[in-house]
Amino acid sequence: MNRDLLIKKMKSINNLPTLPVIALEVNRLLQLYESPTDQLVALLEKDQSLVVKILRLVNSSFYGLRSKVNSVRHAVTLLGFNTVRNAVVTVAIIDALALKNILTDFDINSFWKHAIHVAVMGRYIANKTRLASGEDAFTAGLLHDMGKVVLAAFFQEDLIQILRTMESDRINFFDAEEKINSCPHNLVGSFLAQRWLLPDPLIKTIQYHHSKADRSEQTQLIAIIDISNRLVHMMTGDVGYSLQTEENQENDGDSKTIMKCLSNLQNWLPVIHKEMNEACEFFNKV
């Protein structure tokens, strides 16, 4: 199915995954120039199950806080609006993408493992290079491939064809989509992200995280997630991935800055492996 037809069909699907109203309201509220803390706290406290998950996340090793955060107000005051919003988006989307009737050929556990690994790698690069917020990079990494879950739940014939093309031609997922002229998962994911009213930087990163995609709206966050995605695929031995592309060879300082921070494997690889394992263990329990 080509991209125009697939997007048209997506618009007609009534049971696409949705975010909780609370998460949508948080996104809307924090897009305002002035977002009163009291209003945000009152909104979040309407959903105590969400509050429990947010507090568990911010008190995890990801944030490395010296003291325990014991309330939403404390979290907002200590971490700021943007970090709390990322926490809300993270826990809400993990729940939203727990879909039924997923294609059996699509390994949802491997999908989440890859997403978490890219999130951890993205946060590491962002923190080391200071090209973007570490929390933004973690959230973007976690969501970058979410269009694949939509394909696995609602466009199974297309996904089967993609997977067969990957295997027969020994190419990666994105190249297989291009070869059969299917709507690429990055556009499917960005369509859903727009429906969820996610922040624009997240939408753009989902949409443009492949180097072959249109880079007219390139940002530092996109560069981080693109390289993180490639690197994680290479670390797991997946075919069709390289860090040397025409785009990052011709790019200005961002890719060079990222590659420089990754130049000494001994410095970062053991740390990253440990953080990836801890993150997978944590999110399996969310």
**Tens of pLDDT, residue by residue, the chain (286 residues):** 777 788 888 888 888 888 888 888 888 887 775 667 888 899 999 999 889 989 998 898 877 788 899 999 999 888 888 888 889 989 999 889 988 889 988 999 999 999 999 999 999 999 999 999 999 999 999 999 999 999 999 999 999 999 999 999 999 999 999 999 888 999 999 999 999 989 899 999 999 998 665 666 779 999 999 999 999 999 999 998 988 765 555 556 788 899 999 988 888 999 999 999 999 988 875 5
pLDDT at 255 (0 to 100) = 86
Domains delineated in the chain: 3-15+100-283 (1.10.3210.10), 18-96 (no CATH)
pTM: 0.90
pLDDT at 36 (0 to 100) = 79
pLDDT at 81 (0 to 100) = 85
Start-to-end CA span in the chain (Å):
35
For tokens 């075919």, the residue is 239
* CA neighbor of 228 nearest in space, from 252, 250, 202, 205: 205
pLDDT at 101 (0 to 100) = 84
Q: What is the DSSP letter of 177?
A: H
In angstroms, what CA-CA distances link 212 with 140, 174, 215, 218? Answer: 18, 9, 8, 12
Q: Which burial class, exposed, middle or buried, applies to 162 when counting CB atoms under 10 A from its CB (0-12, 13-18, 19+)?
A: buried
In angstroms, what CA-CA distances link 214 with 124, 218, 229, 249, 269? Answer: 25, 8, 17, 16, 31
